[in-house]
Amino acid sequence: MLTTPRLQLEHIVKTFPGVQAVQDVSLQANSGEILALVGENGAGKTTLVNVLAGALQADSGDILLDGVPVTVSSPRAALNLGITMIHQELALIPQLTVGQNIFLGREPRLRWRSMIDWRALYNQATAELERLGLDIPARALIEDLSIAQRQLVEIAKALSYQARLIVLDEPTSALTEREAETLFGLMRSLREQGVTLIFISHRLEEVFALADRVAVMRDGQLVGVAPRTDLTTQQVVQMMVGRELKEFYPRSSRLAKGDDGAQPLLRAKGLRRGGDLHGVDLEVYPGEIVGLAGLVGAGRSYVARALFGVDKLDSGEIWVDGKLAAIHSPMDAVRYGMGFVPEDRKSQGLFLGQSVRTNTAISILRQFSRLGFLNFSAIERLVRDMVSKLGIRTPGISQRVRNLSGGNQQKVVISRWLAHNPKVLILDEPTRGVDVAAKAEIHGLMDSLAAQGMGILMISSELPEVLSVSDRILVMREGRIVSEIPRAQATQDAIMHAATGQQEGGAQ
């Protein structure tokens, strides 16, 4: 007996100036199903689900819920229909409690007054959390919760609207493996309760662990939908990019550190800062990619920020190209030949409202200035050259960066530092939130830069990336580097044992 799909999207079309983002897409999702929606950045996934969630209005096409045509005119209308979307950037108010966030704008009121019934609010919030098996206090402040706990609060909030359909956009991008597993367990539980989940992720291992079916988009079109069991990772990748990616982690053959007699390009000695760093020593040689691994909170990003002068050190020395460097600010680091791509490109690395041209050239304007006048034609040539070299997909260099895909935004951040021709490049989570094709391109770029003699320090939470890209791996725990593992001896187990303070045979 055939059942009516929970969701039917029929011939959805959405166009922006100069771009047809979604082209005649028809897609179904069933009750009690996890449907993975995958594709390169810019494939149209987010536009499609934003139409479903009422954040955008389709130019044409129809939406049916449980066989009934509906009009999703706004996010509020979507919530009233039982459709909710959990974005990569969470929409919670940090200064409010869990309960206040769950019932924001829908607070229960005392009958004889217009005042909020706080007891009822927290009782109802506790009931929603317990229904999901979540051990999170309803009176806890959101700012005191981990990212994973905040994700789970978002889901509790969604279900408080009696959600029939939940869309999750890159929900694990900021989670540890353990936190992600907690989220996955909840998603599977919701599936068993009959909730429909649409799951957007660039991490194909997650897709194959969770999804019942996989829908693939490319260039605004739906190119295929199939049961997960009928697909391989390589088939999904080929559908996404329209070609075969033969090598995810390209790598030139390189000598081990110092084998050619070279001195370190970057050397840190005894870096200390408050409770974050406790005597960090490290070296990066010319032509070397050094991976910095460890659990979330181990201090990896603090090392990067300290090296680049973002955070002030209590003590320690930084040497660049054999010279003691006085780095008190990012401007000092740039003068010494360093570049830094931060973990959060949107809030720390880009001027989202500005153009590709401005974002690429903003840190090198002095090089193109004479007597107070800028050489705009030279700036134009340099930016176009960077766009070409890095394969940045943009309608033009005047395009605002906020309108680019995540992978292309990341390339713009990298292009800014490559314009400086740095000796040392620090990359903090360089492929977070980018698709498989953009990831392969960034890895290829890193390999090319190392082959030209640049020293690269890379932080990544993805162990396959750390293992495949790095020439050496430094493992951090509790603000210290606790292990250095040569490429030939590096395994996921070795890294995790060092990161957690375990030995191969058990606890230390």
Report how far residue 210's alpha carbon sits from residue 204's, in angstroms, rounded to the nearest whole number.
10
Q: For residue 313, what are its two tokens?
A: 């050190």
End-to-end CA distance of the chain: 58
Other C-beta atoms closer than 10 Å to the C-beta of 156 total: 24
What pLDDT is recorded for position 506? 39
> Dihedral of the CA atoms 377, 449, 319, 281 (nearest 10)?
140
Alpha-carbon distances, residue 196 vs 29, 31, 56, 133 (angstroms): 7, 5, 21, 19
- Strand 266-273 to 315-320 pairing: antiparallel
Q: What is the DSSP string of 24-51?
A: EEEEEE-TT-EEEEE--TTSSHHHHHHH
Structural domain spans, the chain: 7-241, 266-507
Same fold, 7-241 and 266-507: yes
Q: Which CATH architecture has domain 7-241?
A: 3-Layer(aba) Sandwich (3.40)
Q: Can you say whether the dihedral through the CA atoms of 354, 356, 357, 360 is positive or negative?
A: positive
Report how far residue 23's alpha carbon sits from residue 144's, in angstroms, rounded to the nearest whole number.
43
What pLDDT is recorded for position 459? 93
Within 13 Å and on the Cβ side, how many CA atoms surround 142?
Answer: 19
Report how far residue 199's alpha carbon sits from residue 182's, in angstroms, rounded to the nearest whole number.
15
Alpha-carbon distances, residue 4 vs 26, 29, 296, 468 (angstroms): 15, 10, 43, 45
Q: For residue 36, what are its two tokens?
A: 């993975």
- Strand 34-38 to 196-200 pairing: parallel
Q: For residue 470, what are its two tokens?
A: 């790095």
Report how far residue 418's alpha carbon sits from residue 438's, in angstroms, rounded to the nearest whole number.
17
Report how far residue 310's alpha carbon sits from residue 340's, in angstroms, rounded to the nearest whole number.
10
Identify the CA nearest to 464 among candidates 441, 442, 438, 492.
Answer: 492
What pLDDT is recorded for position 255? 60
What is the three-class DSSP state of 481? strand
Report how far residue 465's alpha carbon sits from residue 447's, in angstroms, rounded to the nearest whole number.
13
Q: At 147, which amino acid appears?
A: I
What pLDDT is recorded for position 12? 96
Report how far residue 264's alpha carbon sits from residue 353's, in angstroms, rounded to the nearest whole number.
38
CATH number of 266-507, picked from 3.70.10.10, 3.40.50.300, 2.40.50.100, 3.20.80.10: 3.40.50.300
Residue 368, phi then psi, degrees to nearest 5: -115, 20
Q: For residue 352, what are its two tokens?
A: 């989202």
- pLDDT tens by residue, 308-359: 999 999 999 999 999 999 999 999 999 999 999 887 777 777 888 888 888 8
**Residue 220: CB partners within 8 Å, gap ≥ 6?**
20, 21, 22, 23, 25, 43, 44, 47
What pLDDT is recorded for position 251? 67
Residue 245, phi then psi, degrees to nearest 5: -95, 105
What pLDDT is recorded for position 257? 63
pLDDT in tens, the chain (508 residues): 457 899 999 999 998 876 788 999 999 999 999 999 998 767 889 899 999 999 999 999 999 999 999 999 999 899 889 998 887 666 789 999 999 999 998 899 887 767 899 999 999 999 988 887 788 999 999 988 877 788 788 888 887 888 899 999 888 766 667 777 878 888 898 899 899 999 998 888 889 999 999 999 988 999 999 999 999 988 888 888 775 555 555 666 666 565 666 799 999 999 999 989 999 999 999 999 999 998 777 899 999 999 999 999 999 999 999 999 999 999 999 999 999 988 777 777 788 888 888 888 877 777 777 777 878 888 888 889 888 888 888 888 888 888 887 778 888 888 888 888 889 999 998 887 777 777 888 888 889 899 999 999 999 888 888 988 999 999 999 999 999 999 889 988 888 888 887 654 433 4
- pLDDT tens by residue, 429-458: 888 777 777 788 888 888 989 999 999 999
For 410, the enclosing helix (H) or strand (E) is helix 406-418
Alpha-carbon distances, residue 361 vs 309, 368, 395, 442 (angstroms): 21, 10, 18, 20
Full-model pTM: 0.62
Q: What is the DSSP string of 241-273?
A: HSS----SS-----PPTTTTSPPPSEEEEEEEE
**97 secondary structure, DSSP code:** B
Report how far residue 45's alpha carbon sits from residue 364's, in angstroms, rounded to the nearest whole number.
35
Beta carbons of 432 and 173 less than 8 angstroms apart: yes
Report how far residue 35's alpha carbon sits from residue 37's, in angstroms, rounded to the nearest whole number.
6
What pLDDT is recorded for position 504? 46
